[in-house]
Amino acid sequence: MEERFPPNGQSFEAYVALGSNMGEREQLLMEAIGLIDHEPTIEVRSVSGIYETDPVGYTDQPAFLNMAIAIRTSLSPIELLRKLLEYELQLGRVRQIRWGPRTIDLDLLLYDNVRMDQEELTLPHPRMMERSFVLVPLNDVIEVSHTLQSEVARAAGSALQDGKEGITLWKTINWRSASEPFGS
């Protein structure tokens, strides 16, 4: 198996939310995961189910498919954010309307237990605890040992239980084992 990280380099746990509501939504999500996993400095560790969700904010648009992934990376938080933004561009993301339709949206939610508030990046993601379309998929992949796990689980359970949040499981994903290349 190819070595993904420098032998003496440190790797960090991070969580990324993915969303799409334009074009072939599921295919775009899978392409995004493939791009992320193909990056030598990033390893996709687990993948949530895919959830169909009602749009939030700007509501005059199609439903979204949302999911979350757990990764390990040797990139810094800012380097990882910039890499995710590159992948959005590669997959045709155009930013026209705030919270509007998009081919792909990749949001860095958590990076280890890092807390930061800079113009380019705020961690944890500032609005993630308000969004069931983030919390429900994140609950599928967040490590039990993560400091926010119980809070995420509680909020995700409540969002699914009351049914008012406009989120339903659309499809489960059978993610590969760590030694198997993406796409097999």
Catalytic one among 25, 37, 107, 131?
107
Indicate if 54 belongs to the active site: no
Catalytic one among 93, 95, 98, 115?
93
Rounded Cα–Cα distance for residues 11 and 166 (Å)? 36
Indicate if 105 belongs to the active site: yes
Structure tokens given for 20: 């799409």
Catalytic one among 60, 72, 82, 105?
105
Cis status of the peptide bond prior to 124, with omega within 30 of 0? yes
Catalytic one among 25, 37, 102, 131?
102
Indicate if 107 belongs to the active site: yes
Catalytic residue positions? 93, 102, 105, 107
